[in-house]
Amino acid sequence: MTIIASFLRNAELPQSPTARLDIELLLAAALGKSRSYLHTWPERIVSSEAATRFNQYLERRRDGEPVAYILGQQGFWKLDLEVAPHTLIPRPETEMLVEAALELLPPAEAKVLDLGTGSGAIALALASERPNWQVVGVDRVDEAVALAERNRERLHLDNAQILRSHWFDALDGERYQLIISNPPYIAAADPHLGAGDVRFEPSSALVAGVDGLDDLRQIIGAAPQHLVAGGWLLLEHGYDQAGEVRALLAGRGFERVESRVDLGGHERITLGRLPC
C-alpha cells in the first residue's frame, strides 16, 4: 500500500508548467479531499480505487487535457464553477472585467448584460457582488446556457438570468447600464491555438476571423442600441489589440475610452461610455 507522500514525491508531469499544483489538485480530487489534507496527513494510505483514479487523471493531464476539464470545475472570483469542454476555462485575467464593472457602477439597482457568458463566470461573479443588480448572461451555445444555468442555480443567484442569444439577437428593445464581454479575439492563424490547454477549448469561443476582431467589431457596432445614455461597454481583448479596440469604440461614438493593464503589463481590457 502506498501513502500520500509517495504519490506527491513520485508523480511526474514533465510537460506542465504547473506540475506540482496539478498533481496536488488531481490527487486531492481522487481522494475526495482538499489540498491541505495532503500536507496535513501525508502518511495516510491511498486506497487502490483512489490510486486508479489518480493515475487516470495523470494520464489525461499528460495528454494535455486541462485540469479544469479533468475535474469539471474551476475557481473564478470567489466562486467555484462547473466547467466543461464546450466553454472556455475562466481565467484570472478576466477578473479584471469584474473589478472594473464594480468600480464603474454604484451598488444601486442596475441592468447588466454579459455577452458570451460561457460558464456564467462574469455574470455570476457580478450578481454575487451586487444583489441589487439584475444581471443577464447570454450565449449562443445550448450546452453553455445549460451549464451557466446549473452554476446559477447551485449558487442561488436569483438576480441573474441566463438566456440563449447570439450577442444581441434575442434582446430587442432591451437596454442596460453596462454591457460586458470576453468574446473570441484570437486570429484564425494564430499558432497559440495549437499549444497548451487552448488545444482542448472550443474554437468557437476563441477564434474571431482573420485578425481576431470580428466579434469585437460586431459587439461595438451594435452596443449603442442596447445601452442607456451614459452606459458603459467593457471588453476583454488580446494583448496587442487595445489600440484597435480603442479606435473602434471612438469611431462608434463612445467617450472616456481607455485601456487597462494586466499583471503581465499588457493592455488587457478596454472600456468606453456612451454619451449622455
Per-residue pLDDT of the chain (276 residues; tens, 9 = 90+): 688 898 888 888 988 888 999 999 999 999 999 999 999 988 899 999 999 999 999 999 998 899 999 999 999 999 999 999 888 889 889 999 999 999 999 888 999 999 999 999 999 999 999 999 999 999 999 999 999 999 999 999 999 999 999 999 999 999 999 999 999 767 665 555 555 666 655 656 566 566 778 899 999 999 999 999 999 999 999 888 999 999 999 999 999 999 999 988 999 999 999 998
Dihedral sign from CA coordinates of 133, 105, 78, 84: positive
Residue that has been written with the C-alpha cell 440563449 in this structure: 164
pTM of the model as a whole? 0.89
Contact 126, 112 (CB under 8 A): yes
CA gap 4, 8 in Å, rounded: 6
Other C-beta atoms closer than 10 Å to the C-beta of 76 total 22
C-alpha torsion sign, points 99, 161, 221, 202: positive
Q: How far apart are CA 59 and CA 54, in angstroms?
A: 9
- CA-to-CA separations, 29 to 36, 50, 55, 77, 153, in angstroms, rounded: 12, 9, 12, 21, 23
User: What does the buried/exposed string (b/e) look like for 14-44 if buried means 16 or more CB atoms within 10 Å of the residue's CB?
Assistant: eebeeeeebbbbbbbbbbebeeeebeeeeee
Hey, what amino acid is at 15? Answer: Q
- Identity of the amino acid at 59: E
